[in-house]
């Protein structure tokens, strides 16, 4: 499935469900929870949702508000090692299942997440 077709298939509501499911899991997580400031969870959720909508063919709201994603630069302050990468994937995989996307959309998104999660690693 073409990445740009996903937003048309799942809609912004689908991304809302996905990201909400992910951020319900984050605060209590012993690895990821400490990386997310409690007073900015709502902002983090909005930024991820807007980024994913943009990345998968929807609104350009993310670019209008934040500019180029510069993902590595924006995540540089956080120690992202293999354990953090794997936990992020674990939580996002569970969130994808909860969101109930069509299998072809979920597969394409999972492949994107897997590659980006590895790319974001900045610690041994």
Check residue 53 and give its pLDDT.
97
Check residue 4 and give its pLDDT.
82
Check residue 3 and give its pLDDT.
81
Q: Sign of dihedral through CA atoms 103, 109, 111, 114?
A: negative
Of 70, 31, 25, the C-alpha closest to 47 is: 70
Domain boundaries, the chain: 3-119
Domain 3-119, CATH: 1.10.490.10
Of 113, 110, 95, 101, the C-alpha closest to 8 is: 101
Check residue 72 and give its pLDDT.
87
Check residue 75 and give its pLDDT.
87
- Give me the tens of pLDDT residue by residue for the chain, a chain 124 residues long: 888 889 999 999 999 999 999 999 999 999 999 999 889 999 999 999 999 999 999 999 999 999 988 988 898 899 999 999 999 999 999 999 999 999 999 999 999 999 999 999 999 8
Instruction: Phi first, then psi: give them for residue 44, nearest 5 degrees.
Output: -60, -40
């Amino acid at each position: 499935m073409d990445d740009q077709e996903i937003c048309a298939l799942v809609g912004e509501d689908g991304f809302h469900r996905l990201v909400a499911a992910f951020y319900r899991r984050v605060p209590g997580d012993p690895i990821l929870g400490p990386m997310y400031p409690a007073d900015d969870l709502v902002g983090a959720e909005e930024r991820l949702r807007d980024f994913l909508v943009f990345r998968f063919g929807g609104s350009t709201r993310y670019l209008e508000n934040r500019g180029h994603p510069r993902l590595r630069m924006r995540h540089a302050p956080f120690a992202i090692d293999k354990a953090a990468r794997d936990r992020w994937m674990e939580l996002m995989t569970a969130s994808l299942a909860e969101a109930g996307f069509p299998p072809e959309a979920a597969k394409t998104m999972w492949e994107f997440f897997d590659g980006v999660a590895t790319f974001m690693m900045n610690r041994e």
